[in-house]
Amino acid sequence: MVERISAQGLHKIIQGETIGAQTCVIKFYSNGCDYCHNLKEYFEDISDIDDYQGVRFFAFNVADDPKIDKRLKLNGVPTICMIKTQPPEAQIKIIADPDTPHQHTWFRSSEIKSFIERNK
């Protein structure tokens, strides 16, 4: 299941202000991005994979915090990010842009799954 996260919730995760350690995968998107909309169903399917039961999946609209791209060094949308909260500090990893982006979704499901597997 993918939950929409607020700017306040995202900042708590980034700052490691969670109860215990958590692994979060966040899709950063924009309402005007076709790639983002097309990626939605694939991202939701990935969140339902049994192997990822301990991972929380979120979607964050970059319009909710216009400074988030500079803070996390995002390279546009869609961007997939994994944050491991290890209070008092969080570890943040961002998936690299694909060498050959998918023409409809930018990222392929296999690229997102590999990123999660390498970093979880």
First to last CA, the chain: 17
Task: Report yes or no: 85 and 93 within 8 Å, Cβ to Cβ.
Answer: no
Average pLDDT over residues 6-12: 94
Whether domain 2-119 has CATH 2.40.30.110: the reply is: no
Give the model confidence (pLDDT) of 52-89 as tens digits: 999 999 999 999 999 999 999 999 999 999 999 876 67
Per-residue pLDDT tens digits for 89-111: 789 999 999 999 999 999 999 99
- What is each CA distance from 38 to 31, 35, 43, in whole angstroms? 11, 5, 9
- Let me know: does 23 contact 56? Beta carbons within 8 Å: yes
pTM, whole model, 2 decimals? 0.94
Q: CA distances (Å), 108 to each of 28, 46, 91, 99, in order?
A: 15, 11, 24, 11
SS3 state at 45: helix
Q: Is the dihedral of CA 99, 103, 106, 110 positive or negative?
A: negative
Distance of alpha carbon 33 from alpha carbon 15, whole angstroms:
28
Domain boundaries, the chain: 2-119
